Structure 1
Amino acid sequence: MPTKERLAEFIATVERNEHVEAIERFYAPHASMQENNAPPRVGRDVLVAHEAAALARLSKMDTQPAVMVLHDGDNVVIQWVFLMTNKTGETLRFEELTHQVWEGDRIVRERFFYDSRQFG
């Protein structure tokens, strides 16, 4: 179970747009991420590579302060809003809920819930 301080440190890292660093620092080596009902990606190295590639497709990522955080034992739910600017200068507002399962001070499983129609 993450401490309140560890969770605040994670959120602050994401809010600073240090997404790859957040995965490196806060996810277990065997962690998984899942987009809605897609198959999960497994392994921290895979997660880091996927995040780096996603960010490389953008010219700017602006993470807004966490809208809401629910913390109950090993379970954390965060509501995020991201302003993502693509290479042509168009900015997209993207909102999601993420459910995380922690073991100790590391995230072992994360699932994102969002409306894919946000992508146009």
Structure 2
Amino acid sequence: MPSRERLNEFIAVVESGDHAGAIERYYTEDASMQENAAPPRVGRDVLVARERGILAQMSHVYSKAMSSVVEGDRVAIHWIFELTDKSGGKRRVDEVAVQEWRGDRIFRERFFYDPSRPKT
């Protein structure tokens, strides 16, 4: 079960822009991530590689946790992400991440957001 301090550390790493580093340090080796109803991606190495690939396409990423809740091994975080790709296209993602923790690491995460939001 994560402590509030551990969760706050995780949030701070994401907000600093080190998304791939957050996965490396805070996820279990067998962790999974799932976008809405899509099939989950499994394995920390797979998750890190995908995150690095996405970030490589961006010129700027802003990440802000608006609120978070810890309830035993379950965590919910309301995130706002503002992404600017290298061609200047911008997208704002208003997302809720629901996580299940094993000890002090995330082993399952599912993201809920509106995938139809157009780029601005």
TM-score by length of 2: 0.96
Q: 4+ runs of 1 displaced by more than 3 Å?
A: none
The gaps in structure 2 that reach 5 residues or longer are none
> Matches of 1:119 and 1:94 in 2, distance apart?
10
Identity of aligned residues (%): 54
Partner of 1:34: 34
Partner of 2:25: 25
Amino acid at match of 1:94: V
Partner of 1:50: 50
Partner of 2:88: 89
The gaps in structure 1 that reach 5 residues or longer are none
Partner of 1:118: 117
Is 1:63 the counterpart of 2:70? The answer is no
**Matched residues, number:** 119
> Matches of 1:37 and 1:50 in 2, distance apart?
18
**In the TM superposition, what is the alpha-carbon distance from 1:119 to its structure 2 partner?**
4.0
SS at match of 2:116: helix
Partner of 1:10: 10
SS at match of 1:11: helix
SS at match of 2:50: helix
**In the TM superposition, what is the alpha-carbon distance from 1:87 to its structure 2 partner?**
1.1
Deviations along 1:55-83, whole A, 9 cap, x unmatched?
A: 1111111112x111011000000000011
